[in-house]
Chains A and B, each alone.
Chain A
Amino acid sequence: MNPDLQSHPRLAPGCRLGENNQQRVLLMPERALRLNGPSLEIVQRCDGQHTVEQIVTELQQIYSKAEPQKVESDILGYLSLLQEQRALDFA
């Protein structure tokens, strides 16, 4: 189930960025996710200000060499995964 493009994702209570052995991680209840380049770019924009569509547009600019359609589907897939982990609220 893909998130609505006009919704504003925000990290849920108890979910925040952290660092471990020079590696950025997303900390959440009983779990931590390693963040690489693109996943960190996405999570940093889950601030309740950006819409899903804006996140897609901004990452398409950062990763301009990649197929825009592929960037969009990767982002939607990653946001769904974070939602399943209950790491996001959508306003």
Chain B
Amino acid sequence: MNSAPTAPINPLALIAELTHRCPLHCVYCSNPLELQSRANELDTQIWSRVFREAAELGVLQADFTGGEPLARTDIIELVRAARIAGLYVNLITSGLPLDEAKLDALVAAGLDHLQLSFQGAREEIAAEISNTKSHAQKLRVLEWLKSRRVAVTLNFVIHRRNLDQLAELLALAESSSATRVEFAHVQYYGWAFANREQLLPTRAQVANSIEFFKCAQQRLSGKIRIEYVAPDYYAKYPKPCMGGWGRKLVLITPSGEALPCHAAKIIPELKFENVKDRSLREIWEFSDAFQKFRGESWMQGPCKTCDRRELDFGGCRCQALLLAGDPAATDPVCSLAPTREKVDAILKAVNEPSAEQSLITPAWLYRPNPQHSGPLRSSIGVDDGN
């Protein structure tokens, strides 16, 4: 534990990865390659304490995610505990383990906002991406949601294989009770990094999608809030990842480790504290992992003297590790980064005519369920340093 170089402001959101168990096997899952098993999951009591500590620390919102958070048999109790602690409760779900009674119980327990993921506009692509038959159930959930008083967001993760379905996806949102839609291009970590060659969109697809969202946002203003997450490999400047390291968000893994972001465990030199051993406040203010890239003292050139360093915080540390081999480097997607040529080489391969969308289904690496996870790391060339 280090003393604070800069007094941190309080986090605004707690990302509660309640479990890594999931009925879907999405090829871009944001969970780490090494999934945690059910036996190591935090119990109801510890989660409830974490929610109280989060609210005392100034956290406003809890994002229940996974895996599939509904795989927890105590999910209703967890929603109630977070709400009683004073948090705004978001549930990010595939909708698979849901029926009308459970939905009613969630709303009665205080669920504020439900985010339903879709893998595509049709059963065929949804099944290809998630390796599960799930689309029809999601459509049923959308119907049930119409008569419940809860905010609804539809989450669409977009990539080369479903970017031609944007109009259909938006129509699905317009026919639902959603007041918010997220179209998020895949970000390349974990399983998505392993499947990157098949997921990266072409330059033309990205340009079309930006035009599409501009029109949609105008047309639906006041009806549906449309959020767009850009594919940062194509960006001029990096994303302000997590709103800055250790600045706004704290993520708790199923077993209780506190992380500054979803992928932070791939950074070899970081040591993570567990909420079983320490309070959330202690971890937030003093743990090495949160201190490491907080503020600006860790920055190298060109970030160190860049005018944009307070806007994007140097981009993403995990991406710097994955693409430049150094977590303190400028995010290689930045046009000012000395390693930008690596990203350009990746994009060049994607945009070669020979790489254009083929009729053959790609050879996906599917994310398994925790109990089935094997030593996959070496086979896909990602060293997470553990």
Q: Hey, which bits of chain A sit against chain B, CB under 8 A?
A: 1, 12-16, 18-21, 25, 27-30, 32, 83-86
Contacts and interface: CB of A to CB of B under 8 A. Distances in A.
Contact of B150 (A14, A27, A30, A86): A14
A12 B150 CA distance: 9
A86 B225 contact: yes
Contacts of B112: 14, 16, 27, 29
Contacts of B152: 13-14
B222 A13 contact: no
Given A13-B151, A25-B60, A18 B86 contact: yes
Contacts of A18: 60, 86, 88
A14 B60 contact: no
- Chain B interface extent, by class: 20 to 34
B179 interface: yes
Q: Which 7 A-B pairs have the closest CB atoms?
A: A14-B151, A86-B179, A27-B88, A14-B113, A86-B225, A29-B113, A13-B149
Interface in B1-50: 10, 12
A27 B88 CA distance: 7
A32 B151 contact: no
A18 to B, nearest CB: 7
A13 B224 contact: no
Interface of B: 10, 12, 58, 60-61, 86, 88, 90, 112-113, 148-153, 179-180, 221-225, 227
Contact of A32 (B60, B148, B223): B60
A86 B222 contact: yes
Contact of B222 (A16, A19, A21, A83): A83
Nearest to B227: A30
A12 B179 CA distance: 9
B153 A29 contact: yes
Given A13-B151, A27-B61, A30-B227, 17 more contacts: A13-B148, A13-B149, A14-B113, A14-B150, A16-B112, A18-B88, A20-B60, A25-B60, A29-B113, A29-B179, A29-B225, A30-B90, A30-B153, A32-B12, A32-B60, A32-B61, A86-B225
Contacts of A14: 112-113, 150-152, 179
A19 B113 CA distance: 18
